Amino acid sequence: MIEKLAPYVLTFVFALIFTLVLTPIVREVNRRIGMVDKPDPRRINKVTIPRGGGIGLFLGVNLAFWFAYLVLGDTVLGTTAGDTPILFGLSAALVALGYADDKFSLNPKVKLLGQLLIAALTWHFTRLGFQDVWPQIPSWLDAVLTVFWIAGAINAFNLIDGLDGLASGLALIATLGMTGALFFTGRAESTFFCFAFMGALLGFLRYNYNPASVFLGDSGSMYIGYSLSVLALSSHTPDSMLVSVVVPLLAMGVPIFDTSLAILRRSIRHLLRKDGTEAGNDKVMTADTDHLHHRILRAVGLNQKKAAWTLYLMASALVLIGLVGVSLKSRAAGLWLAAVAAAAIVIFRDMSRIELFDAGRLLNRVAHSTSVTSRRRMAKLRVPFYLTCDVLLLVAAYFLGCWALKIPLTAARLRASLPIQVVATFGCLVFLRTYVTIWSRAMASNYVRLGAACVLGSVIGSVARYYIPSVPASQLKAMTVVYAILSFVFLLALRFVRPVVRDLFYALDCRQLMGRKDVSRILVYGTGLRYRAFRRELVRTTSANTRIIVGLLDDDILQRNHYIGGIQVRGTIHEAPDIITELNVDAVVIAFETTPEKEAIIRKLLRPTGVRITKFAFSETEQI
């Protein structure tokens, strides 16, 4: 065992020593040529620190790897023996591009073009790609996927490199995960570069961990992303999707997630700002301070070590999930499901603070645009949207009905039975005029009409299937009932989506407003129809809100601590002074019909608090 492990350990130690020796030299050279990061509003560092330290990392990795090659021979090269010199040359070209950017601050488009070119050359001159996993995909698609994967990984680590030791630490964890997966599958010969890479990363962390004395720069972060993407491609095995795709994705999960959010966030803000109505740069490739590490840094009180370790733990958890999945093999389905559910919760909670809020502002602007052209466009798109969604939901209802009744989905059923059922129901929806209804203002009769269309369509479709000999007609009665119910539920759910989404974005708006000092905090007295109308007005003006409801008052003690429209009933009017103090309320809105005597009592109770008192009312008056 010792003899087998010794070459890997020596490769790791050589890389560690080379990087520990070379990095201070590179740091001093970069300092003398003026390649430094000076403090500014967007940067975390408070003193001038040299950048471009990735040269030391690159030299440490490759000197150790090629030294191991001279000592141990071709065994070190593993499965990429013929491609290794090419990969070395391409990685050197990428490091040179990054070093030029560190020195001269290249145009982002030029840098991206260089990354894409190197990724394309990697696919062209090596055997690396996705055809080992999916042999049936055409070469052009393999090229696109490979270039996208390599360029995406390069930019993922480039963007995540915003804290001392963050990118190098995450890369160390990712490499450890991929190395473990290769050992699990009996491919230890492919891990010599991994050990050299881990040794160099650990050596560089000696100078890059907080407080850092040197930064990776683009030369280092781009080299890390390229190396990890190539490692993932070289570990592809035709019989293991976990090792080939899932483990690398999980190992690089934190940078990939951060990059995806950055693209989404910047694209939304580009659309919000391109008309000049909002301040800020509208370019998609412009840097911002809302990366994952910035958010965590703000959450932990600007402590870089805590923020970095939080992300280290996240990355380690993802790697552990991947390794456990490799060890469980066929029994890993439940684990993956739990991991996806947990990740979805974390992702939504993180996105809701910024990305979803910005998306809500964008949708609200489009929906409430005063431009005649925009309003006409929205009117033209509304009906086609409902038509398309309804057809898709009718198809989904048919599939779900067949699954529930255990009816086999044969080719004949998909070719004839499905179209007949969907066309019959859709025809009834048109015939009963459901598409001339404004569903945000629908009444009970509109929903009855929708239900009748679904029942009638299901019956007509079943009758047609019964009398057409070539159409499968098994379990007609059961399918008629199940399809009618499912189609109605699906279509009804679609029509409830709009108010639900509007309320969701109002809740996100409230979260944003909570942290602002210029927002008026409102306590509403009354929980009936007028309160609901008042709240609806606030929901409809989400993007322009300067007021937020922080609580409700109601004289019915049975309502206490209940939530109405997402707002908690705090107590009665007699408890209002204490509630106002507790919630830091600025104004009280009376949202029910009152008498002058009642209003006098309210004013007397609230006068010592100094809050403003208003009344929300709607009434019918005679036109003179």
Q: Pick the most confident of 280-284, 430-434, 453-457.
A: 453-457
Among 12-16, 102-106, 250-254, the minimum mean pLDDT is found in 250-254
Cβ atoms < 10 Å from Cβ of 79: 16
Residue scoring higher pLDDT (328 or 144): 144
Q: Which residues pair with 36 in a beta bridge?
A: 50
Q: Over 90: is that where the pLDDT of 105 sits?
A: no
Q: How far, in Å, CA of 397 to CA of 334, rounded?
A: 27
Among 228-237, 350-359, 396-405, the minimum mean pLDDT is found in 350-359
| Burial group, residue 376, by CB count within 10 angstroms (0-12, 13-18, 19+) | exposed
Structure tokens at 52: 């471009």
What does the pLDDT average to over 69-90? 75
What does the pLDDT average to over 154-163? 89
State residue 454's pLDDT score: 94
Going by pLDDT thresholds of 50, 70 and 90, the confidence category of residue 26 is: very high
Structure tokens at 87: 């990969």
Phi, psi at 183, each rounded to 5°: -65, -40
Q: How far, in Å, CA of 217 to CA of 103, rounded?
A: 10
pTM of the prediction? 0.64
Cα–Cα distances (Å) from 55 to 65, 155, 252, 411, in that order, read 15, 18, 22, 60
State residue 497's pLDDT score: 77
Exposure string (b/e) for 27-62, b if CB count within 10 Å is 16 or more? beebbeeebbbeeeeeebbeeebbbbbbbbbbbbbb
State residue 466's pLDDT score: 80
Q: Over 90: is that where the pLDDT of 201 sits?
A: yes
State residue 284's pLDDT score: 59
In this structure, which amino acid lies at residue 431?
Answer: F
What does the pLDDT average to over 280-291? 66
Q: How far, in Å, CA of 23 to CA of 203, rounded?
A: 8
Percent of the chain with pLDDT over 90: 30
Q: Over 90: is that where the pLDDT of 223 sits?
A: yes
Structural domains in the chain?
2-351 (no CATH), 372-503 (no CATH), 516-615 (3.40.50.720)
Q: Provide the greatest CA pair distance for the chain.
A: 102
Average pLDDT, the chain: 81
Structure tokens at 413: 């059923």
Summarised one tens digit per residue, pLDDT across range 334-377 is: 555 555 566 655 555 555 556 655 665 665 665 555 555 555 55
Q: Where are the beta strands (DSSP E) in 49-198?
A: 49-50
Q: Which ranges in 161-301 belong to alpha helices (H)?
A: 166-184, 192-208, 217-234, 241, 247-251, 253-273, 292-299
Q: SS3 of 307, please?
A: helix
Cβ atoms < 10 Å from Cβ of 492: 15
- Is residue 591 a contact partner of residue 525, using CB atoms and an 8 Å limit? yes
Going by pLDDT thresholds of 50, 70 and 90, the confidence category of residue 619 is: low
Q: Over 70: is that where the pLDDT of 469 sits?
A: no
Q: Over 90: is that where the pLDDT of 378 sits?
A: no
State residue 221's pLDDT score: 94
Among 200-204, 208-212, 471-475, the minimum mean pLDDT is found in 471-475
Cα–Cα distances (Å) from 115 to 227, 232, 405, 451, in that order, read 13, 18, 53, 56
Work out the end-to-end distance of the chain between its first and last CA atoms, rounded to an integer number of angstroms: 100
Residues in the chain, total: 624
Q: Over 60: is that where the pLDDT of 532 sits?
A: yes
Q: Over 70: is that where the pLDDT of 570 sits?
A: yes
Among 264-273, 360-369, 486-495, the minimum mean pLDDT is found in 360-369
Going by pLDDT thresholds of 50, 70 and 90, the confidence category of residue 150 is: very high
Indicate if the alpha-carbon torsion angle 248, 252, 257, 263 is positive or negative: negative
Going by pLDDT thresholds of 50, 70 and 90, the confidence category of residue 67 is: confident
Percent of the chain with pLDDT over 70: 76
Going by pLDDT thresholds of 50, 70 and 90, the confidence category of residue 261 is: confident
Q: How far, in Å, CA of 54 to CA of 27, rounded?
A: 10
Q: Over 70: is that where the pLDDT of 31 sits?
A: yes
Q: Over 80: is that where the pLDDT of 11 sits?
A: yes
From the list 502, 412, 506, 428, the residue with the least C-alpha distance to 463 is 428
Q: SS3 of 191, please?
A: coil
From the list 583, 506, 510, the residue with the least C-alpha distance to 537 is 506
Peptide bond into 238 cis (omega under 30): no
